[in-house]
């Protein structure tokens, strides 16, 4: 791997994981996805519970979108087996990405994310939220009528 920085290597591994998730979500058991996730945890400095929860969640979502309810349920159960902090992080990350896609975040999600980020000392999540909401104070969100 001469010439590659560790960041390039981790980025390649994350891309490989994303590709594996897309291939294995529908009807698969996620073998390759989970192997890559374990590798990222060991070699890439990613918290094991976080990456395994995220992988299982994404496999569940992929399976669901592919009409494979049984596989989706099995992957969702696997995601639920990891620690509460990892599940909470993945929930916030999914909300952030959905908000990025939509261009806004609901008020309750903004407040929950700010609380989580403060507790977990995750300023990066606050910055990501501010990019999505276009605000310094916490965000543009849907008006609650």
Mean pLDDT of 34-55: 90
pLDDT bin (cut points 50, 70, 90) of residue 11 is confident
DSSP 24-68: HTTT---HHHHHHHHHHHHHS---HHHHHHHHHHHHHHHHHHTT-
Given a cut of 90, whether residue 33 has pLDDT beyond it is: yes
Mean pLDDT of the chain: 83
Given a cut of 80, whether residue 89 has pLDDT beyond it is: yes
Higher pLDDT: 21 or 100? It is 21
pLDDT bin (cut points 50, 70, 90) of residue 106 is confident
Write down the domain spans for the chain: 1-82, 84-145
Residues 6+ apart with CB under 8 A from 97: none
Contact between 66 and 33 under an 8 Å Cβ cutoff? The reply is no
Record the pTM.
Answer: 0.76
Mean pLDDT of 23-43: 86
């Amino acid at each position: 791997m001469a010439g590659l920085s560790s960041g390039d290597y981790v980025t390649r591994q994350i891309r490989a994981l994303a590709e594996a998730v897309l291939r294995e979500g529908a009807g698969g058991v996620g073998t390759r996805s989970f192997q890559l996730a374990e590798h990222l945890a060991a070699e890439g400095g990613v918290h094991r519970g976080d990456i395994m929860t995220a992988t299982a969640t994404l496999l569940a979502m992929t399976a669901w979108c592919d009409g494979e309810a049984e596989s989706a349920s099995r992957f969702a159960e696997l995601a639920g087996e990891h620690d509460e902090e990892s599940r909470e992080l993945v929930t916030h990350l999914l909300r952030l990405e959905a908000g990025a896609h939509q261009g806004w975040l609901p008020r309750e999600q903004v407040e929950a994310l700010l609380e989580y980020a403060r507790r977990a000392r995750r300023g990066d999540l606050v910055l990501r939220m501010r990019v999505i909401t276009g605000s310094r104070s916490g965000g543009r969100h849907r008006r609650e009528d």
